[in-house]
Structure 1
């Protein structure tokens, strides 16, 4: 999907349109996804997150993603409402809202899907704390960039640099990002 979007395709183009309808069909319980189910995670829960993220990227505020988006907004809001990442609160609210299968891994917040899904969804105060959490992490954004977002690669023509730029592209959709990009801009120039 990402490659099709990079090529400039959108919902008006058949490949994206077909994929979009396939994803909507999954959320409507019309069919299962063809992916091999992982045993470590609550697969259905994760697939709903993954699918909802791509639908939201293509069609923000889509009717079929509303419940999933609202769940994650509530999880993040509760997790950061005291001004910092509260892991105990996160685990508690995650389990209360998402009701994952027993003994399955709990999904973290710093990954492509949650970060992409939450852009333009959080209130400014919670967004600030969420971004603080992401930027103060040494792990970056899982699936995209696995280092501290404030440490820039020496080699601009590297895969690592490309991944960092994509991480900032994802984060650029957050209203509070402007105050955090000065060093990134300097690195680019």
Structure 2
């Protein structure tokens, strides 16, 4: 019998793409350099998320932004623009439409959990106080990536046996309301 439903944060509960785009748009507008476009900030970030995947989310974002700013000789401005990015990113980090209603319904019958391998802390994303537990990568010995050979849907590996994990592989922004009608994929 399933007693716990745990959710991955980014792109499952939290609309991270909209929040990140808002943060990068604010930086692009404030930097006001035609050589440093929103598309360039996004592309450099995508490359850094791949090449530095095992690092802390803030460290990855800083490295990517430093790289983009260096294209115009402005890397010395990193701290200023990084703070602006995170201020705007967290101001726009919100649950997908319908997510809180589903959480409210599920909380009547299940213990709810929240996990992320980035930095979308529940309280900063409009989801504070909703979960029996929260798991954050690189805190308290929690690895960022699952151990080799384990299912990526089952991060972290040390999960309760009666837990159903919901990730962006099982729910998407376009199918979020469908979660009411179907269960998330169980880890096996």
Fold match by TM threshold 0.5 = no
Larger strand share, 1 or 2: 2
Q: Give TM-score scaled by structure 2 length.
A: 0.27
Larger helix share, 1 or 2: 1
